[in-house]
């Protein structure tokens, strides 16, 4: 847990999980056998899916995959996931993990579909149970919907370590955008979901149920206490003025120097004021209703009704 990692002065207090992650990054930085990352950008939802692998063992993890979804017709599709699958097969990679950084509200996860093709374990943060409780209520799910995270093969807690082939990895709990967000630090590469975005775009919103701008600030400072050379891989990019194309990779050093919301020197209170004001003006994501109903089930579609058809619910005047 991160009880209070940031002192009033903005200095980050001692934190064993962060220190372990920092040591791990330092050990892997610049090594020829550091993890290889290939990213796939879905322009429909501005989502980056990352495939990270250990070049020595060819073991891979897929982070935040995308199931295509057309809200007008209710049709799902697998073109985005197929591009990932083609790459995995062409490279001869063996998938050990399907990692979800959080319950996404803007795209549906393709993890179960990919897992069916490739094997590997589906994992998310242990705090998923809080998200399942909140949204289970909002969508008036019956008892068929388990709120214990059992839809996943592994629930990571803060500071838990794991391996990708021969590469050390550590899971960090980085709440704020949602209460359950995780960052996965694999070698010197950190997959940070919706926390920091590119330096010229800033940070993720913190106004969903269970979100908290103050917590988000502390999570971003915690990530930025990793070594400057840490490679950061983001879940989204929406472009920014003066930048010709989408981008999803940066470094801790670049974020500390230039993130427009949380560069070094930005105080917690001013971040919270900025984030809260900005969030109040944002519309909800276009796909929040289908995304949450599917992703809180580990990416499985809701069960079919008596006529064999699966449905997405839309609660009126609730969100
Ligand atoms: Fe998100």
Q: What is the pLDDT of residue 14?
A: 76
- H/E run at residue 275: helix 268-280
Q: What is the pLDDT of residue 12?
A: 56
Cα of 81 vs centre of ligand 1, distance in Å, is 18
Evaluate whether 233 touches 37 at the Cβ level (below 8 Å). yes
Cα of 38 vs centre of ligand 1, distance in Å, is 20
Cα of 104 vs centre of ligand 1, distance in Å, is 4
For residue 312, being part of any structural domain is answered with no
Cα of 103 vs centre of ligand 1, distance in Å, is 7
Q: Name the pLDDT band for 11 (thresholds 50, 70, 90).
A: low
For residue 304, being part of any structural domain is answered with no
Mean pLDDT, all residues of the chain: 95
Give 126's contacts (C-beta < 8 A, 6+ positions apart).
Answer: 149, 155, 156, 157, 180
> How far, in Å, CA of 156 to CA of 175, rounded?
13
- Domain of residue 72 covers 16-295
pLDDT digits (tens, 9 = 90+) for 38-79: 999 999 999 999 999 999 999 999 999 999 999 999 999 999
Cα of 33 vs centre of ligand 1, distance in Å, is 31
> How far, in Å, CA of 165 to CA of 169, rounded?
10
CB atoms closer than 10 angstroms to residue 166: 12
The mean per-residue pLDDT over the stretch 6-28 comes to 79
Among 151, 144, 150, 149, smallest CA distance to 310 is for 144
For residue 5, being part of any structural domain is answered with no
Of residues 112 and 13, which shows the higher confidence score? 112
Evaluate whether 159 touches 20 at the Cβ level (below 8 Å). yes
Cα of 194 vs centre of ligand 1, distance in Å, is 5
Cα of 207 vs centre of ligand 1, distance in Å, is 11
The mean per-residue pLDDT over the stretch 219-245 comes to 96
For residue 300, being part of any structural domain is answered with no
For residue 74, being part of any structural domain is answered with yes
Give 30's contacts (C-beta < 8 A, 6+ positions apart).
Answer: 188, 229
For residue 309, being part of any structural domain is answered with no
Q: Name the pLDDT band for 319 (thresholds 50, 70, 90).
A: confident
> How far, in Å, CA of 310 to CA of 166, rounded?
41
Neighbours of ion ligand 1 (CB under 5 A): 104, 194
Residue 23 has pLDDT above 70, yes or no: yes
Cα of 236 vs centre of ligand 1, distance in Å, is 8
Number of domains in the chain: 1
Cα of 31 vs centre of ligand 1, distance in Å, is 31
Cα of 290 vs centre of ligand 1, distance in Å, is 13
Cα of 231 vs centre of ligand 1, distance in Å, is 20
Helix/strand/coil (H/E/C) assignment for every residue in 232-247: EEECECCCCCCCCCCC
Indicate which CATH number applies to the domain containing 112.
Answer: 3.60.15.10
For residue 317, being part of any structural domain is answered with no
pLDDT digits (tens, 9 = 90+) for 178-188: 999 999 999 99
Q: What is the pLDDT of residue 9?
A: 47
Cα of 195 vs centre of ligand 1, distance in Å, is 9
Cα of 219 vs centre of ligand 1, distance in Å, is 15
Cα of 175 vs centre of ligand 1, distance in Å, is 11
For residue 265, being part of any structural domain is answered with yes
Which residue has 């960090």 as its token pair?
172
Cα of 89 vs centre of ligand 1, distance in Å, is 28
Phi, psi of 9 (to 5 degrees): -75, -10
Q: What is the pLDDT of residue 2?
A: 42
Token output for 146: 């388990």
> How far, in Å, CA of 158 to CA of 17, rounded?
7
pTM (predicted TM-score): 0.95
């Amino acid at each position: 847990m991160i009880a209070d990692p940031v002192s009033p002065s903005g200095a980050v207090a001692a934190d064993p999980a962060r220190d372990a992650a920092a040591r791990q990054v330092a050990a892997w930085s610049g090594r020829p056998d550091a993890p290889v990352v290939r990213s796939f950008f879905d322009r429909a939802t501005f989502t980056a899916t990352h495939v990270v692998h250990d070049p020595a063992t060819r073991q891979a993890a897929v982070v935040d995959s995308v199931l295509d979804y057309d809200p007008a017709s209710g049709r799902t599709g697998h073109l985005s996931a197929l591009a990932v699958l083609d790459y995995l097969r062409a490279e001869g990679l063996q998938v050990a993990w399907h990692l979800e950084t959080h319950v996404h509200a803007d795209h549906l996860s393709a993890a179960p579909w990919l897992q069916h093709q490739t094997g590997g374990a589906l994992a998310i943060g242990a705090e998923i149970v809080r998200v399942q409780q909140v949204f289970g209520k909002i969508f008036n799910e019956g008892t068929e919907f388990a709120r214990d995270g059992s839809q996943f093969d592994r629930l990571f807690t803060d500071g838990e370590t794991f391996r990708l082939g021969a590469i050390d990895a550590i899971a960090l709990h980085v709440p704020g955008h949602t209460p359950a967000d995780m960052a996965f630090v694999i070698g010197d590469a950190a997959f940070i979901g919706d926390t920091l975005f590119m330096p010229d775009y800033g940070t993720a919103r913190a106004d969903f149920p269970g979100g908290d701008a103050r917590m988000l600030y502390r999570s971003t400072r915690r990530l930025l206490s990793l070594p400057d050379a840490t490679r950061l891989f983001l879940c989204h990019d929406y472009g920014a003025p003066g930048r010709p194309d989408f981008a999803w990779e940066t470094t801790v050093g670049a974020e500390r120097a230039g993130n427009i919301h949380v560069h070094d020197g930005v105080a917690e209170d001013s971040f919270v004021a900025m984030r809260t004001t900005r969030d109040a003006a944002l519309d909800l994501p276009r796909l929040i209703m289908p995304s949450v109903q599917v992703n809180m089930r580990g990416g499985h579609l809701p069960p079919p009704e008596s006529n064999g058809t699966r449905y997405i619910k839309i609660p009126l005047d609730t969100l």
